[in-house]
Chains A and B, each alone.
Chain A
Amino acid sequence: AQKVTQAQTEISVVEKEDVTLDCVYETRDTTYYLFWYKQPPSGELVFLIRRNSFDEQNEISGRYSWNFQKSTSSFNFTITASQVVDSAVYFCALSEAPSGNTPLVFGKGTRLSVIA
């Protein structure tokens, strides 16, 4: 069965610090998709990234970067030079896709607080 673990429940950093949010997943499928979503204080869930299991290239988008390592079943998310607006709950999610698509299974989330 698929499972996503975000071991860090809460993280606090001072503005401009770098911070890494950990995500470890479990799946028996060789084809799957990994996602990160952001939930700001307003409550909606905002899509950040999708990565398929055959693409292990790291990705950078502005201050955000993602490190996908199949060897450790991890898909970690780093925010460089954090800002107060980055304060939110961040969710990692997994979808197995052996012959189609399955719904996302989410981790419990990591609450990030960036202090000015």
Chain B
Amino acid sequence: DAGVIQSPRHEVTEMGQEVTLRCKPISGHNSLFWYRQTMMRGLELLIYFNNNVPIDDSGMPEDRFSAKMPNASFSTLKIQPSEPRDSAVYFCASSRRLQGAANEKLFFGSGTQLSVL
């Protein structure tokens, strides 16, 4: 059973470039989350989707950030243009969410280490 798959594992880019991070959730999971981890701020929720629909994007720092989930098996997080302060580890997580049921645990991908020079 494959877990959450993120690509790339590492990304080094120059300021101003577009960056696209990719995520494949676990098959059968209907909720997907993007988190960002930095030393200063810890793990922050950026956006999450239920059944491919964005539910809450209030954590997206700026208009430079955008996320899509065109289908149940794929999501992207795009930063355009990137800035050095975007350097962080970006995690994708998925869960199976059933209305009225206990809150299912999140399964995390291995993360993408982004460095913007």
Contact = CB atoms under 8 A, between A and B. Distances in A.
Interface of A: 33, 35, 37, 42-47, 50, 52, 91, 95, 97, 100-109
Contacts, number: 53
B70 to A, nearest CB: 21
Interface of B: 31, 33, 35, 42-43, 45, 48, 56, 89, 91, 93, 97, 99-100, 102-111, 113
A97 B101 CA distance: 10
At the interface, is chain B mostly helix, strand, loop or mixed? strand
Contact of A44 (B56, B105, B110): B110
Nearest to A33: B103
A50 B103 contact: yes
A107 B42 contact: yes
A43 B43 contact: no
B110 A108 contact: no
15 contacts: A43-B89, A44-B109, A45-B91, A50-B105, A91-B43, A95-B103, A97-B102, A97-B103, A101-B97, A103-B48, A104-B33, A104-B106, A106-B35, A106-B43, A107-B42
